[in-house]
Amino acid sequence: MTTELAPLPKVVLGSLSFGVFWMLAVFPSVPFLPIGRTAGALLGAVLMIVFHVIGPDDAYASIDLPILGLLFATMVVGGYLKGAGMFGHLGALLAWRSRGGRDLLCRVCVVTALASALFTNDTCCVVLTEFVLELAAERNLPAKPFLLALATSANIGSSATPIGNPQNLVIAFNSRITFLRFLFGILPAMLAGMAVNTVMLLCMYWKELEGASPDEVGAGKEMEAVEEGRSPASSVLSLKCGASPALRHRQNGNGNGNAGHDDADSVMSENISTKHRWFMQCSEQRRKLFLKSFAYVVTVGMLVAYMLGLNMSWTAIATAIALVVVDFRDAEPCLDKVSYSLLVFFSGMFVTVSGFNKTGLPGAIWNFMAPYAKINHVSGVTVLSLIILLLSNLASNVPTGKLTLVRTVLISFVLSESVSRPAR
């Protein structure tokens, strides 16, 4: 870490390059340069090299390949799990014997938080939003409380594990905290945050969550069916079984009840198409069951490997490759769903932040703040928390997690614990 300030031109140019990156990361559609976050990260990296703040070799060395590998593999595994219907099961869990709006809100908070800790907050938000909107519409409830519950719970829950969100990956890799140590260290705070968040949302939207009970909604659907000349039993049956509107539409459109399957089943039936002789000899149902079961089993194995302390990056890559190989088809359609723009953004961010660290400015700021942010005092923890909170909202949470300022605190904390433990 650079503790002394670099020459003034290097500090100015490095700060300018980081400022460009920060501006485009926070405001990706600025009128005079609407190129987006990913291109903004690359622009910041290129400026660092052009201004000789960091050399080309050091720039390549600053790109953290284990983090990129883990991100890539996690997205591949998430795609196969989505195809296996895992998120459909989570949606069914939200609807199962729901007792009204308040009960549904609590379920959204709990299920989203736990799922985000294992499958990243972005994935859970994207996939579960559709389920939450459908459940709210079926029960004549406002969507806003549930969307807020989904967004806040995803962020709170993802803090519990290194794979919950990208900034956790940065922190865990740089501080070398194991998966279990990270989990047990953050889990109490995550559970407390989840409880506080749930109570706050219930207090804010208590009256709005009264809505209509499932029985009342079913009666309303029955009246609508009678008015439209349809069978009341068919309308109420699909509602009580927890089927989504999209699912009921497919069932009605297919003309028979058995032809309608959920999104996951249809995706799996498309994905398992193969000319492999062994697969062609199996029935369609057995092929789907095998691929679903294998996806669940290897994912559980991946989580167990994390807990045993195996390398997280290569464990995730091995899991992704196992899913690709067993799928017995060209993996290009699945790989196309990977967010390569996110990987490029991270690469540019690594170079930009590394160049900014070489200016010595982050180290100088930390040296100034260190006496007021000691982690062995309540006042120091408060000051440090406020600094991180401010930086995360102003400079985005991922660059904040990568900055030397925060990394120094975390590494110092780990080292101080390892030194003081034998003395006890």
CB 337 within 8 A of CB 79: yes
For residues 196 and 247, membership in a common domain is answered with: no
For residues 190 and 90, membership in a common domain is answered with: yes
190 within a domain of the structure (yes/no): yes
271 within a domain of the structure (yes/no): no
CB burial string 69-102: b at 16+ within 10 A, e below: bbbbbbbbbbbbbbbbbbbbebbbebbeebeebb
For residues 124 and 220, membership in a common domain is answered with: no
Answer with the residue of higher pLDDT: 163 or 29.
163
For residues 176 and 222, membership in a common domain is answered with: no
pLDDT tens per residue across span 344-390: 998 998 899 889 888 888 777 777 776 776 666 777 777 777 777 76
pLDDT of residue 46: 96
Residue range(s) defining the domain that contains residue 107: 86-204
CB 85 within 8 A of CB 126: no
pLDDT of residue 252: 45
For residues 39 and 366, what is the distance between their CA atoms, to the nearest angstrom? 29
113 within a domain of the structure (yes/no): yes
DSSP 85: T
41 within a domain of the structure (yes/no): no
DSSP 371: G
For residues 125 and 191, membership in a common domain is answered with: yes
22: tokens are 């920060």
Residue 150 burial class via C-beta count within 10 angstroms: exposed 0-12, middle 13-18, buried 19 and up: buried
For residues 199 and 222, membership in a common domain is answered with: no
pLDDT tens per residue across span 396-419: 555 555 554 445 444 444 444 444
pLDDT of residue 411: 45
For residues 167 and 230, membership in a common domain is answered with: no
pLDDT at 234 over 70: no
Question: Region 202-206: what's the mean pLDDT?
Answer: 90
The set of residues, in sequence order, having a beta carbon less than 8 Å from that of 281 and lying 6+ positions away, is none
- Report the C-alpha dihedral over residues 21, 27, 30, 35, rounded to 10 degrees: 60
Answer with the residue of higher pLDDT: 268 or 328.
328
pLDDT tens per residue across span 91-132: 777 777 777 788 888 888 998 898 888 877 877 787 788 788
Task: Give the chain's domain count.
Answer: 2
For residues 335 and 139, what is the distance between their CA atoms, to the nearest angstrom? 37
166: tokens are 């990208």
Runs of H (alpha helix) within 120-244: 121-138, 143-158, 166-175, 179-204, 214-228, 232-240
Of the segments 43-57, 210-224, 400-414, which one has the largest average pLDDT value?
A: 43-57
pLDDT of residue 251: 40
The set of residues, in sequence order, having a beta carbon less than 8 Å from that of 415 and lying 6+ positions away, is none
pLDDT of residue 195: 94
> Among residues 30, 40, 101, which one has the least CA distance to residue 399?
40
For residues 223 and 185, membership in a common domain is answered with: no
For residues 114 and 161, membership in a common domain is answered with: yes
Question: Region 20-40: what's the mean pLDDT?
Answer: 84
For residues 414 and 44, what is the distance between their CA atoms, to the nearest angstrom? 31
For residues 299 and 80, what is the distance between their CA atoms, to the nearest angstrom? 10
Q: Which residue's structure tokens are 């990156």?
A: 21
Question: Region 299-314: what's the mean pLDDT?
Answer: 88
Q: Pick from 158, 185, 204: which residue ends a domain?
A: 204
Q: Pick from 204, 223, 249: which residue ends a domain?
A: 204
Of the segments 209-218, 251-260, 360-369, which one has the largest average pLDDT value?
A: 360-369
For residues 96 and 191, membership in a common domain is answered with: yes
pLDDT tens per residue across span 128-146: 887 888 888 888 888 889 9
pLDDT at 35 over 80: yes
296 within a domain of the structure (yes/no): no
| pTM summary value | 0.67
Of the segments 53-57, 62-66, 215-219, which one has the largest average pLDDT value?
A: 53-57
pLDDT of residue 140: 86
For residues 188 and 253, membership in a common domain is answered with: no
CB 25 within 8 A of CB 342: no
Q: Which of 30-34, 156-160, 217-221, 318-322 has the lowest mean pLDDT?
A: 217-221
378 within a domain of the structure (yes/no): no
249 within a domain of the structure (yes/no): yes
For residues 247 and 170, membership in a common domain is answered with: no
Q: What is the pLDDT of the chain when averaged over all its residues?
A: 75
